[in-house]
Amino acid sequence: MESSAKTEHFRWWVFWTGIFNIVAYAALLCPFTLKIFLGTSSGLGNALGLGGTVLSMPENVNHVIMINILGLMVVFLGIFLIIASLDIEKRAWLVFWEGLTRIFVFLFFLYYVLFSSAAQILLLFGIIDLIIGIIYMYYIFTIKDLKIT
């Protein structure tokens, strides 16, 4: 693939993963939507025959607040990815760190599913993050005009 075409494809990928972050994690922003998200995720896990601890609404309000803050941070990260996609050559460093973070999220989920009986649906979410992170790294290390420093 020609370098400029590859760069455009990468720009498109970063833009749409930013949109994905906003749409997918907006559900974590308030208790009502968080409850729906957790119920839907548990239902999906059951439908797929996955085990582990059931995802349920935390009873401790402090845990809910932390999840809401996490949702806010990931939504803003989605906005940052969209902004990075507008000048991907200069902002590839942000996408690099986002990709590395996604790979580590997968590793955390893998650990907790294997060794702490966390809900196995988390592994599915982690695999999605791993795929996105690997695709980011592929483009970053194969397009010569991108700078991560």
Mean pLDDT over 89-99 rounds to: 96
Mean pLDDT over 67-87 rounds to: 97
Residue 46: C-alpha distances to residues 50, 58, 81, 143 (Å): 6, 19, 33, 41
Answer whether residue 1 shows pLDDT above 60: no
Answer whether residue 2 shows pLDDT above 90: no
Residue 58: C-alpha distances to residues 10, 38, 103, 112, 120 (Å): 38, 10, 26, 18, 18
Residue 78: C-alpha distances to residues 44, 62, 125 (Å): 24, 24, 16
Q: What is the mean pLDDT of the chain?
A: 94
Q: Global pTM?
A: 0.90
The rounded percent of the chain whose pLDDT value lies above 90 is 83
pLDDT digits (tens, 9 = 90+) for 30-74: 999 999 999 999 999 999 988 888 889 999 999 999 999 999 999
Nearest partner of 27 among 18, 40, 16, judged by Cα: 40
Query: In whole angstroms, what is the distance from residue 114 CA to residue 123 CA?
Result: 9
